Amino acid sequence: MIINKIRVLITDDSLLFRNVLKKELSEDPHIEVVGMAVDPVDALEKIKSLKPDILTLDVEMPKMSGLVFLKKLMEENPLKVVLVSSMNISVFDALHAGAVDFVKKPDMSSKNDLPMFFREIRTKIKVASIAKLVPFTSSKVPETKKLENLSSSKVIAIGASTGGTEATLTVLKSLPAHMPGILVTQHMPPGFTKMYADRLNKICDLEVREALDGDRVEKGLVLVAPGDKQMKLAKDDKGYYVSCKPGEKVSGHCPSVDVLFNSVAENAGKNSVGIILTGMGKDGAQGLLNMKKTGAFTVGQDEKSSVVYGMPMVAFNIGAVIVQSDVEDIAEILIKHLNK
């Protein structure tokens, strides 16, 4: 049986890292490393001759920054890119510029870091190979940003994976500052979730921060699940708050969208809204169905606007989605629902 291998071009200025990565990726029967580039200038030339399916790219590179290179690439020769980067806020600018996903660069001296990194990058390359390059435009401004029936008992839960950093941003930056409390679970490593929350906080009218265990769910506040903890909605006599604790992976992930959605179904029920966005796999689909069964209003991103139509597809197929929509329209749908 002939396997159509995913053609990968590795771009990194470290000879050691390039060689180690080539050796590991080449052991996967579904991946073929067609070449290696030492910097973006070298990569531009090799892309023309080698015609890779996927490019791995470090954000911090000599001769030309990875971000400048990525913008140039997407304008001239759009290609699916998986970032391999140390903890750097530029990762989110690169995702905005068109990169499909990212993997945290490992500590080469760590025996624990490397095997985990190799597993993750192989998976991300395979996901990227079936992803769509979705151009992100400036968000549509909803017809009305005014909320008339704002209830403190409302909770909005959003879940996303591959492509979700930009999809979530598209939704949040179109919402007014006085929204009901919003909880976000985005599949992302520890450390990056705080940087992501800080970035959203600068762009959006809402206050956005990485959640801490015990944080209250308040109007105008968005809490982002920490990258190494399971975030759940809880309730006491004062109202809603979040529990953020280390836990086993659920549906393959920590944080898991299913964990969040199931807790919202249990504690907020009909007073909640669930939104499932782009991502590979099925995390969140069952949780969204459970929310719907308790009377929640549910929204799923459509195939056309999804980078990877996985999680929202499964949710739609099992009947968990009440309204399916282009990501650009979700903010308006949400505001109209809250105004009913």
Active site residue ranges? 161, 187, 283
CA distance 211 to 223: 5
> What is each CA distance from 236 to 229, 241, 262, 291, in whole angstroms?
21, 8, 17, 20
Query: Could you tell me which of 113, 52, 103 has the C-alpha nearest to residue 82?
Result: 103
- Element of type H or E holding 9: strand 6-11
CA distance 128 to 115: 20
Contact 30, 3 (CB under 8 A): yes
> What is each CA distance from 198 to 136, 194, 195, 208, 246, in whole angstroms?
20, 6, 5, 7, 22
Contact 13, 20 (CB under 8 A): no
DSSP one-letter string for 83-119: EEESS-THHHHHHHHT--EEEEPP-TT-TTHHHHHHH
CA distance 32 to 25: 7
Backbone angles phi, psi at 35, to 5 degrees: 175, 170
